[in-house]
Amino acid sequence: MERSEPASAPVSGVDRVSDIVESVKQYARQETVEPIRGAARWVAVGTVASLSLGIAMLYLALGILRLSQDLGGGALDGSWSFVHYVITGIVLAGVAGLAASRIGGRSLSRGGAR
């Protein structure tokens, strides 16, 4: 018994063009829309993190300033009152430097390369 292969229907030029157009659309969606969604997640998380860090730094600055004023007592009053602000600024600069040194260099790409 012989098996006869069904003859494949000829593909018209219009079908080929529509297949190419559909392939291009899928490729464009894959290479543009999906990475933008991933980047939007990074932006959302970064925004929340930066707001949280900013609020924490504000409370830290106020706490350091009040602690410095309480521990300094009356010795740093009058013309020496700026010392409390200098101390607060130095501590905050150190904390900001520490935070900046911990920033990772991961990129938005899947491979994680810079």
pTM as predicted: 0.60
The boundaries of the domain holding residue 77 are 13-101
Span 86-111, pLDDT tens digits: 999 999 999 999 988 988 776 665 55
Q: Number of structural domains, the chain?
A: 1
**Residues 6+ positions from 76 with CB-CB distance below 8 Å:** 69, 83, 84
Whether residue 76 is contained in a domain is answered as yes
Residue 113 three-state SS? coil
pLDDT at 82: 92
Taking alpha carbons only, the member of 17, 88, 33 closest to residue 59 is 88
Whether residue 112 is contained in a domain is answered as no
pLDDT at 15: 82
Whether residue 2 is contained in a domain is answered as no
Taking alpha carbons only, the member of 54, 50, 51, 82 closest to residue 69 is 82
pLDDT at 5: 57
pLDDT at 104: 79
- pLDDT lower than 70: segments of the chain: 1-11, 106-114
Whether residue 36 is contained in a domain is answered as yes
Measured CA to CA, the distance from residue 80 to residue 2 in angstroms comes to 106
User: Tokens 């949280």 map to which residue?
Assistant: 52
Measured CA to CA, the distance from residue 38 to residue 20 in angstroms comes to 27
Whether residue 27 is contained in a domain is answered as yes
pLDDT at 110: 59
